Structure 1
């Protein structure tokens, strides 16, 4: 079995250090293909999605190895251009490999990307970006084929803010001929870190974190080392766990400045926090206020990835809360499982109404990454015992969520079994 057992009702308390950022490291691994040599990603999270991306890079001819939590990527001979559906079908973010493979090898082929089922995440904007740089694209039932002798700088105005499409354009532009201007860019911290990584490799990028980014293409990049920042979504998840149990925790390496929208909501619910010498001290003992209305937005708004864990907290808070989901239409899939634990949640389209109360333990199933984390948050707050199955989804983004929460006093045992490892060949 692949499940987590939780005995709830215990306040979390203590200090924790958060893993490196999943959403940062994956585009950096893709960007490593732009240099024919060794790049090093320090403090890299050892999570399933990183292992999947590592498999893909190896399939392309790269050599990879780990030294503790430092991941070494030698792309000297990564001359492959074909990413089989076997690999790409496991993770949506594999689509960002198209630009670097194309820039390096003049052609790229990838099976249609897969991943968690939280709603439609079409690749249209990614293909639009590639066409803007001069690529020719052919689509078949199960794969995408792209070719281009030389990517040429361009101007792109995104019809909507898209993290993945913005990253794709930055990766394409780094080795393109001429200047590229990107407008209406997504502003997530992960994009800033990608730009810093590429600039350290010799790219010429200005405007990282702004709606307009300018890139002067260069002919050659060099290797570099990058310290992966703490994961802001994991940080927020642990803060939700503390809030749901009315606990008090200290995040030793919290990513200051990246969680402002979440912390504003945390304070509205009655939570208190302060920053002290790089540590985030969070006290959830007074969390008791519902949220009349909250909606998810692109950064710097409230992140969709923390909507599900927040739902679990609100299920424990007296009164009525309303959450509107504007990013992924199936993000409320977790609600049925939360209701099995006694949550009172009614979903109408992209809006959920939560009437807080008491939760009780039950056997529930994770169907996707953040929803699975939300079930664990709810189980910690619930009376009695819970079993969360399908935890391979959770381990796609959380390196050791059970171990971390045990350090904070959570009563958790894990039965990993063989499910987590069945597709990983390292």
Structure 2
């Protein structure tokens, strides 16, 4: 196995990720409190769309704080297939899209990564033509692209979907999109980002109403503004973009990942731990922090960019309803279900964003939870404790929920489905290991049935 450099900012080894980690499993021996400091990586959902946003620029883009994820690797492969130069050095990506050689993204990559579809906006804005396969990703329900298509059509594009390919072009001599007033039926993050990127190079003014307000939308807007785009209102329900002829080179740092931070907060809460998280943006975590405090978990702001979680004396039930930002994030629903599984009393979780995002309930029940699902609602009756068992992650956040539950369960929990986990968490197992968790990643055939590790070789903890 080739050597790895230590990232001085985190103490964790750098690694080259395999696109498929299903051949390995995580083993967790639960019941051990966590302690210490965990460094939060850059936001996955910002990194992916900002990588797509580099297509708007004909110069060099220097992107910092990019997490080490399978999804980031895949997006890099999509960009490379379009003729873009992508080079990685630690958590920095150097991207140059001055010579886009293709307007067609590869089917085999786009169907594995939904965020890659968002590149249709900047490709169309730069070249006047784009061919994008319909997207894939986690199986958490239908996420149609009709809002993206209708918005691009409002900006003057001709768009047809045939045989799973979205073909778009801009008629006319200069092949530039035109500013338009666009209303989104729902505040879709992907549609907001796609159309905002397309509008940066369009002729005239574009207004997006009922726009998504997520921090990652604001991060993308700030990235585009730093390149010379004229955008106002990001973070509100109305975004106004005045198109410019071109954008310039940029050195930009991605915001911390609020979902990773929230996952570590829940991991600390379920294990009655004392941990410090940084860097974070506390304003991005308001609904998560509020719900944890309602459940009984003490959280304090140690500094403007750090949070400290203290051991809870008692965990009590709470109701959760997922909503678009600034409501409770759907990406935190699964980890919170694991936490509420051992809280005193009955909790109700209503998933309103995606229609197929409660499949982790049955896996949590394998660990001894008492959860009933009806439609998009889960009824959680708290139990005194969970017990280790073999389980399978069915999507990204479901896999994270099983890790969280395994940290608290008595005995050994073995988790399969790591290809989902590695899509969205930067070396989660190694970060938990640094906090004192008894956790190990092994090839599925080499999983030890009984013995908890006292020391773990980091080379065995990340696939290469």
Normalising by structure 2, report the TM-score.
0.88
For residues 120 and 215 of structure 2, what CA distance do their matches in structure 1 show?
Answer: 22
- 1:111 to partner: Cα distance: 1.3
Q: 1:416 to 1:100 in 2, by over 3 A?
A: farther
Contact 1:61 1:75 in 2 (8 A): yes
Structure 1 vs Structure 2 CA RMSD: 1.3
The SS at the match of 2:419 is coil
Contact 1:37 1:223 in 2 (8 A): yes
Q: Does 1:36 align with 2:79?
A: no
Residues 88-128 of structure 1 deviation map (CA, whole Å, 9 limit, x = unaligned):
01011111110111111111111111000011111111111
The residue aligned with 2:406 is 379
How is 1:81-230 mapped onto 2 (pairs within 5 angstroms)?
A: 81-148=103-170, 149-230=175-256
Contact 1:243 1:287 in 2 (8 A): no
For residues 415 and 61 of structure 1, what CA distance do their matches in structure 2 show?
Answer: 37
- 1:205 to partner: Cα distance: 0.6
Contact 1:85 1:142 in 2 (8 A): no
Match of 2:373 among 347, 353, 371: 347
How is 1:259-270 mapped onto 2 (pairs within 5 angstroms)?
A: 259-270=285-296
Provide the aligned length of Structure 1 versus Structure 2.
418
Q: Does 1:319 align with 2:341?
A: no
Gaps of 5+ in 2: 1-22, 446-463
The SS at the match of 1:240 is helix
The residue aligned with 2:461 is none
Q: 1:193 to 1:416 in 2, by over 3 A?
A: farther
The SS at the match of 1:36 is coil
Match of 2:360 among 319, 330, 334: 334
Q: Does 1:365 align with 2:392?
A: yes
Gaps of 5+ in 1: 419-425
Residues 281-337 of structure 1 deviation map (CA, whole Å, 9 limit, x = unaligned):
11142241101x220011000000000000000111121100100001111011111
Q: Does 1:72 align with 2:94?
A: yes
The residue aligned with 1:63 is 85
- 1:417 to partner: Cα distance: 7.6
- 1:184 to partner: Cα distance: 1.0
For residues 361 and 350 of structure 1, what CA distance do their matches in structure 2 show?
Answer: 26
Residues 29-71 of structure 1 deviation map (CA, whole Å, 9 limit, x = unaligned):
1110011121011011010111000000000001111121101
Q: 1:385 to 1:63 in 2, by over 3 A?
A: same
For residues 171 and 286 of structure 1, what CA distance do their matches in structure 2 show?
Answer: 47
Contact 1:305 1:370 in 2 (8 A): yes
For residues 147 and 135 of structure 1, what CA distance do their matches in structure 2 show?
Answer: 6
Normalising by structure 1, report the TM-score.
0.96
For residues 276 and 416 of structure 1, what CA distance do their matches in structure 2 show?
Answer: 39
Residues 319-364 of structure 1 deviation map (CA, whole Å, 9 limit, x = unaligned):
1100100001111011111111111100011110001111100011
Match of 2:312 among 285, 307, 314: 285
For residues 345 and 338 of structure 1, what CA distance do their matches in structure 2 show?
Answer: 8
